[in-house]
Chains A and B, each alone.
Chain A
């Protein structure tokens, strides 16, 4: 589990039972009061790279925008797609992640007023009526990696059980599945697991559990009846990518039952040019960013030819294992094939 360097606590939420619980678990750390989390999280003169070595945990109360429309092309639901972020920043340190360029600070911000999130989620579901709605919980963080402190699954799994017409996607690289296994599998909850070829993972996905631990956890979840989804995002271009992704798919589908998967997606490496520039500044020695990137619609991307080739090759390999009906491309050109 991550070791926090310190705990920052907004005065207004210090008395929350959820906060008191965390304070007890982290009694040995400095407990530092603040008025609003932005005082700690937002100042300019911070270095994401250094903070990532020992981030602090900031306990805060969210006041507005609990539920936001999902970005175009994100996720499997075309209409009524939303995301909500109870946690900012992720304990894993994946070098391709856009969070490095979006946030100035690597500290975790945990919004502890889950009840307010739940209220807005239920209002949103009601507005959608009988039309299914989709809620993505892993946009700004890993949904489960801080579960020991956040108890996010403990709160939201029972909550979403009351709304069978709404789908919740948890996205995680974590192997902390106890919080899921203690519940009976909830039909409208999807556990989305991101994978990269092992060679890529070793170089770029720091602190992420090994492939074998992750696939073993995935298998347990599937056997317990949980609906799994696979996310091959972002596709990382490199010399032997075709072979490496073929081997990855072969390994995964030799262990997981493809017939029971909810969905499978691929996504290209893309992020806003401003984020990309920020990341290059903090990681000037990272080979991933030293290659050639184009700009398409304000996004840093691989050259178009490489993108097209990668998608084509990876999709061809994937369709040996999965039907096209459960596949989608995640991104601005989202389409099912």
Chain B
């Protein structure tokens, strides 16, 4: 089995200009992402995890170092790397079906293939029956599901999620975490989830990257060797969760 990394992050640093001073947000990060793995990135606010995700999507091209996907440098965005943001960011003037379909705007597939992809992914996230609804008619959880469908409709090999459940209530969050696990197993893609929720990170991830803030550095990478689908009550998971939480809480900004 080829263990060649699908994503290679080498010595990546990012600076922001704040009031004429350069603020170092990420400091020489090195990370390899294995194909098909579920990678969680967790850390306190200000650790640069969302920034890292934006660099991976290609929305931001201003950084030092190298980011490669399958050996090729990341230059701008790509349909092969889907993204789900913290807000659903559905277009209010489009229905659910049209919103999911907008991911296929620049796809080279045939009309039938596109139609099928939209229908399949709406079914995948459990929104059957709501194809014609407008975003204002959906609950937060449903809108976020639609956003996930939109992110997956191109069948990208990598899906990036930036605190996708942060704006939802605890019950919905819990349910959507299960959904995400199910979707990941069904689609067999590489998933990178950025979150500040330690339980979520350990419950879902095969590996958990702990970032420490100011400047953002990898503090530790924790392997979660528990087979999917997982049980939240599993003592091994609980133990690892506490371990990771300890890593975050004990960090003082340097």
Q: Do A and B originate from a single complex?
A: no
Chain B residues at the A interface, C-beta cutoff of 8 Å = none
